[in-house]
Structure 1
Amino acid sequence: MDSPGRRRAAALAAVVAVVALALAVRFVALGDRVFHWDEARVGYWILQYQTTGDWSYRAFVHGPFLFQVNELLFGVLGDSNAVARAPVALVGGLLPGVAWLFRTRLDDAEVVALAGLLALNPVLVYYSRFMRNDVLVAAFSLAALGFAVRAIDTGRRGDVVAAGAVLALAFTAKENALVYVGMFVGATALLVDTRLFTARERGESWRSAARDAVASVGRGIWDWRRSLAGAAAAFVLVFAVFYAPRPAFYQALSDPSKLPSALVAGTLGAAEELWGVWGVSGSASRDHSYVAFLADAVKTMGSTALVVSVVGVLGFLAERYVADDPREFVLFAGYWAFASVVVYPAITDISGVWSVTHAVVPLAIPAAVGVGYVVDLGRRSLESDDKAGVALAALVVLALVAQVGVVTAETSFVMPQEEENDLVQFGQPGSDMSDTLATVESVTRAHDGDPDVVFFGDHFHVTKDVDPTDPGSVAGTNWFNRLPLNWYLERGNATAESTRVRSAITECPTSATSGGPALCDAPVVVSKADHYADLAPSLTERGYVSRTYELTSTNTIIVVFVDANAAGYEPL
């Protein structure tokens, strides 16, 4: 007969196996997909940070976690696509392990189900294979909640400090960690309201229930004051270390007199920058249709997170209305998930499908409860020798696993760049340019002279002097239309110029005597495909070969010309 200890050990082994599977799914062929625009712009500025050693927080490229971690990784492992994505893949792969922190609130089957849903959900897998912050902030926030729950349930004070440190990591990933805190507060308020509303059923008034709750919270804060102070200190320390500008922070370590200014810049200065961009009256644009953004989010959840959406809703309803003693933790997660679905379309500036991540993670908790009901049905059917019940439960679980597995394989591996993939956002190149990009990098590294690359046409031409190393300098320019090429060109140490004048590229004697850069000597020329007929005759005659690609998922077609006679050329 199984003992609780054996069942718990089996559950732990299952969670470990799920984590191993999650890591494998996230790391296999991690570098194959061409960088998305968003990956490329952040990656470009990480390369600049690596080169110059200068970094300060810029809110519109989000938190410092990827900057600080990848700057170190690039120095050790190189700056490949896979290395750049590795921190997110690692955190996303470990995310299912957070389910173990909730073992006092969920039974063993629900814990394993939660781990499985976090491991294989198509949205979480796709964006764990993406150098973006959404999975990071979701994982760190859920882990912080897990440590807080463990502290409450076990009385272990160290878990409170861990919660503070991990919550700080969420704030280093992305600014919407503030939204997570707001969601936690809001969901808790709903639970408190429920307790006050049902007070009369327990034979007491809502006023006495409120007084008891306030007194209990006050006693808890006093009893845990040292641990809470430690959590606050851990939060501030982690936050300041990540956000403090470089190299000022490193200089302060050797000269303590500079430490206060570095820490102020990394705390108050960072908070001011964050609020100035993402605050209620910040500069980030939110001029969009809420209904359209909400419809996009619901469509994405229906097509790529169907299991967690449907089973999550059923699990929440069953817990709230069917269970004899509804668990507050499950209701908390349901309130959090629902709020995430309706709030994020209002606060995001782009209808990026990655925002669905923030609803999928909390929704996985009631979904795990829903799966647990099915497993429990199968267990009870087995004990009563009900073969039909066992078969039905097994069929349902297999169908859920198959649906998740098929969609995950399709979205992350079979068609990770195609427009038909509902997880692909506008800025994802629709073509696999890997071979051509490798050739471009090889040629630009070997080229002796400037520029290495010329962008032609209005779409790519930057009309004002900008410093690409300064994110603020390129705002509002066509520099962004070149993404994700900027990342690959920077890796190849390429210098780039742009022009609207065709003769500057096609009539070499004219450009060579103009006193400016000899644009016609650049071994790489990039333009929209509309200009192919303007450039091809001259460039082809001089030995350039060309390839055509989709620079976005919505049919932005470009042509890349590469001089086949240039040093470092590899056949396209």
Structure 2
Amino acid sequence: MVSARSGRRRAVVAVAAATLLALALRFAFLGERVFHWDEARVGYWILQYQASGEYAYRAIVHGPFVFHVNEFLFGLFGTSDFVARAVVAAVGGLFPLSALLFRTRLDDVEVAALAGLLALNPLLVYYSRFMRSDVLVAAFAVTALGLVVRAMDTRKGGYLVAAGAFLALAFASKENALVYVGMFAGATALLFDARLFTARTRGESWESAAHDQLRWAARGLLAWRRALAGAALAFLAVTVLFYAPRPAFYDAFGDPSLIPGVLADATWGAWQEFWGTWGVGGVSREQSYVAFLEHAVRTLGATSLMLSAAAVVGFLAERYVADDPRDLVLFAGYWGVASVVVYPVITDISGHWSVTHAVVPLAIPAAVGFRLVVDRGRRALQSDDRVGVGLAALVLLAAVAQMGVVTAETSYIMPQDDDNTLVQYGQPASDMRETLDAVESVAESHDDGTDVLFFGDHFHVYGDYDKTEPSGVADTNWFNRLPLPWYLERAGAVTDSTVSVSDLTNCERSVTDREFESCRAPVVIARAGHYGDLNPVLSERGYESWTYELTSRNTIFVVWVDTDAAGYPSS
């Protein structure tokens, strides 16, 4: 008993150490990488929410969690890349703690290994340092599952209520929380099928086994009815908190007559918005399922090779070797494989971030695989088998080294290089931080008309448009400017665009006010192909230029800044 308690204590210490390491890895140099296009578009509309106080769920920019949390954080700490990513980094850094929720279903080494994998996996580290909601939904959904397991193992209904709240947080983070629920249901169905299939080995018929399982489930639902009701209420409360429109949500506290409408908007209204965007509209893309699946498998191999190999070993050992296969390990194995296969069907962009939803469940059987290596090393040590000890140590060292090296390369050494396995097309390849700082400083100081002028068909938005709403800029060239709108909006920059060179050359008062303002804009941005037309005019007027890649490749653009403008950094 003392030995078991001591082992459990060591597991808790290991999980705590893994969590501290995870937090350090996620917060170190968090603001260094320039925003990805996806980070920028969501960040831009969070700034619009902060400025207007008005929010309504828009499925195209995913769940409301980061909107409300970051709107609050921006008010406290200001707007920066670091602050915008902090909530994802915090949740991702605390994710290893969820391993403790499975401590009755995994042994001490497996709990520690699971925490280590969640802390060190390169995919999870990279996307915990990214203002996307994939790590959020994964962490919240897995925590909800762990709380359900704890409720079953301790018979305490409070865990189930907490599970309802965390599941709601997963739904508030991103719509694919629905996929997690589907995966949970599918994996449970496979466990049920296994009970029926193996009934003959226990001297039962499959019919009697099915009857016993269904009766057990019905009794459980009846016994847990109060806790289930509490979980449902917790789910509803958190859902309304995040999905309710603003300022109607706050107004309802002073006017109870608004409550029914707010509840409807936060539930049925949100569902209609989701279904209208991702259900009826479906997934629109050009590449095939096979191409997306191949991309996902390659990403797994490049970033999570040791985890994937350990997951295969752990699942097979649990399924075919263990005397009493554990439901949790089989459940996670089914869930992980299904995620690899299903996500290429439901994603519209072949983004590496979707692979995180396979890595997370695979970490559980992978922890079992690494425990098998530790057990082999222990037996070798007891029998004085130095070769066996060395091989076990080598495997574990190789696993840690693989995760460490890939994490260092992808998150710190080359976080936005095209050679980085995890860099997606929308990530600017150039480190333009110094120039962006100069542009923001000039825009903040300039108070006479247009601050930033975009030039050329690639950036020009024709006609009237409402850039404060995602639907207002749909199918326009505004998206070609990303991630610049995030940086310009937080500086309060007044922007405009043109396709006419004369707008930059006719600076006489005889032209229209708009032409005069455009001509005097202290910042001009254009594709590199326009350099020959613009640079002679702008350089003569004292503008300095810098050239960067606005995406990971083949989108070269030029930024000109008036070196005499107020706010331009002195050398």
In the alignment, is the contact (CA less than 8 A) between 2:199 and 2:206 conserved in 1?
yes
The aligned residue for residue 465 of structure 1 is 464
Once the 2 structures are TM-superposed, how far is the Cα of residue 278 of structure 1 from its aligned partner?
1.2
The aligned residue for residue 553 of structure 1 is 552
The aligned residue for residue 79 of structure 1 is 79
Once the 2 structures are TM-superposed, how far is the Cα of residue 56 of structure 1 from its aligned partner?
0.2
Q: 2:281, 2:317 → 1: CA distance?
A: 41
Residue 95 of structure 2 corresponds to residue 95 of structure 1: yes
- Determine helix, strand or coil for the equivalent of 1:494: coil
Q: 2:220, 2:114 → 1: CA distance?
A: 29
In the alignment, is the contact (CA less than 8 A) between 2:503 and 2:516 conserved in 1?
no
Q: How does 1:360-509 map onto structure 2 within 5 Å?
A: 360-509=359-508
Once the 2 structures are TM-superposed, how far is the Cα of residue 406 of structure 1 from its aligned partner?
0.3
- Determine helix, strand or coil for the equivalent of 1:545: strand
In the alignment, is the contact (CA less than 8 A) between 1:466 and 1:474 conserved in 2?
yes
Unaligned runs of 5+ in 2: none
In the alignment, is the contact (CA less than 8 A) between 1:451 and 1:517 conserved in 2?
no
Letter in 1 for 2:92: G
Once the 2 structures are TM-superposed, how far is the Cα of residue 571 of structure 1 from its aligned partner?
5.2
CA deviation map 1:288-335 (0-9, x unaligned): 410111111111111111111111112111211122221111010000
Q: 1:297, 1:517 → 2: CA distance?
A: 51
Letter in 1 for 2:207: R
CA deviation map 1:92-145 (0-9, x unaligned): 000111011001111000000000000010000000000000000000010000
Q: 1:557, 1:287 → 2: CA distance?
A: 24
Letter in 1 for 2:301: G
The aligned residue for residue 183 of structure 1 is 183
Q: How does 1:36-185 map onto structure 2 within 5 Å?
A: 36-185=36-185
Structure-2 change in CA distance of 1:110 and 1:271 (3 Å)? same
The aligned residue for residue 6 of structure 2 is 6
Once the 2 structures are TM-superposed, how far is the Cα of residue 515 of structure 1 from its aligned partner?
5.5
Once the 2 structures are TM-superposed, how far is the Cα of residue 509 of structure 1 from its aligned partner?
2.5
Q: 2:273, 2:82 → 1: CA distance?
A: 30
In the alignment, is the contact (CA less than 8 A) between 2:283 and 2:346 conserved in 1?
no
TM-score (ref. length: structure 2): 0.98
Q: 1:136, 1:57 → 2: CA distance?
A: 18
- Determine helix, strand or coil for the equivalent of 2:561: strand
Residue 289 of structure 2 corresponds to residue 290 of structure 1: yes
CA deviation map 1:482-532 (0-9, x unaligned): 000000000110011000001111232388346655211000000001111
Letter in 2 for 1:361: V
CA deviation map 1:390-435 (0-9, x unaligned): 2221111111101110000000000000011110000000000100
- Determine helix, strand or coil for the equivalent of 2:519: helix
Q: Percent identity?
A: 66
Letter in 2 for 1:366: P
In the alignment, is the contact (CA less than 8 A) between 2:508 and 2:516 conserved in 1?
no
Q: 1:288, 1:349 → 2: CA distance?
A: 9
- Determine helix, strand or coil for the equivalent of 2:508: helix
Q: How does 1:258-273 map onto structure 2 within 5 Å?
A: 258-273=258-273
Unaligned runs of 5+ in 1: none
In the alignment, is the contact (CA less than 8 A) between 1:439 and 1:571 conserved in 2?
no
Q: 2:220, 2:507 → 1: CA distance?
A: 78
The aligned residue for residue 533 of structure 1 is 532
Q: 2:546, 2:304 → 1: CA distance?
A: 36
- Determine helix, strand or coil for the equivalent of 1:469: coil
Structure-2 change in CA distance of 1:472 and 1:517 (3 Å)? farther
Letter in 2 for 1:564: T
Letter in 2 for 1:500: V
The aligned residue for residue 235 of structure 1 is 235
Once the 2 structures are TM-superposed, how far is the Cα of residue 182 of structure 1 from its aligned partner?
0.1
Runs of 4+ in 1 over 4 A off after TM superposition: 514-517
In the alignment, is the contact (CA less than 8 A) between 1:277 and 1:284 conserved in 2?
no
Q: 2:515, 2:56 → 1: CA distance?
A: 34
- Determine helix, strand or coil for the equivalent of 1:246: coil
Once the 2 structures are TM-superposed, how far is the Cα of residue 387 of structure 1 from its aligned partner?
2.3
In the alignment, is the contact (CA less than 8 A) between 1:430 and 1:551 conserved in 2?
yes
The aligned residue for residue 323 of structure 2 is 324
- Determine helix, strand or coil for the equivalent of 1:512: coil
Q: 1:345, 1:353 → 2: CA distance?
A: 11
In the alignment, is the contact (CA less than 8 A) between 1:120 and 1:408 conserved in 2?
yes
In the alignment, is the contact (CA less than 8 A) between 1:93 and 1:119 conserved in 2?
yes
Structure-2 change in CA distance of 1:2 and 1:409 (3 Å)? farther
Q: 1:318, 1:510 → 2: CA distance?
A: 81
In the alignment, is the contact (CA less than 8 A) between 1:503 and 1:511 conserved in 2?
no
Q: 2:301, 2:98 → 1: CA distance?
A: 25
In the alignment, is the contact (CA less than 8 A) between 1:141 and 1:180 conserved in 2?
yes
Structure-2 change in CA distance of 1:333 and 1:425 (3 Å)? same
CA deviation map 1:14-42 (0-9, x unaligned): 10010000000000100000000000000
Letter in 1 for 2:180: Y
- Determine helix, strand or coil for the equivalent of 1:349: coil
Letter in 2 for 1:227: A
Q: 1:175, 1:348 → 2: CA distance?
A: 12
In the alignment, is the contact (CA less than 8 A) between 2:449 and 2:517 conserved in 1?
yes
Structure-2 change in CA distance of 1:481 and 1:317 (3 Å)? same
State how many pairs are aligned: 571
In the alignment, is the contact (CA less than 8 A) between 1:511 and 1:518 conserved in 2?
no
In the alignment, is the contact (CA less than 8 A) between 1:8 and 1:108 conserved in 2?
yes
Q: 2:145, 2:307 → 1: CA distance?
A: 20
Letter in 2 for 1:446: S
- Determine helix, strand or coil for the equivalent of 2:472: coil
The aligned residue for residue 359 of structure 1 is 358
Structure-2 change in CA distance of 1:228 and 1:286 (3 Å)? farther
Q: 1:284, 1:391 → 2: CA distance?
A: 50
Letter in 1 for 2:373: V
Q: 1:62, 1:17 → 2: CA distance?
A: 33
Once the 2 structures are TM-superposed, how far is the Cα of residue 541 of structure 1 from its aligned partner?
0.3
Q: 1:169, 1:450 → 2: CA distance?
A: 43
Letter in 2 for 1:364: A
Q: 1:439, 1:383 → 2: CA distance?
A: 64
- Determine helix, strand or coil for the equivalent of 1:168: helix
TM-score (ref. length: structure 1): 0.98
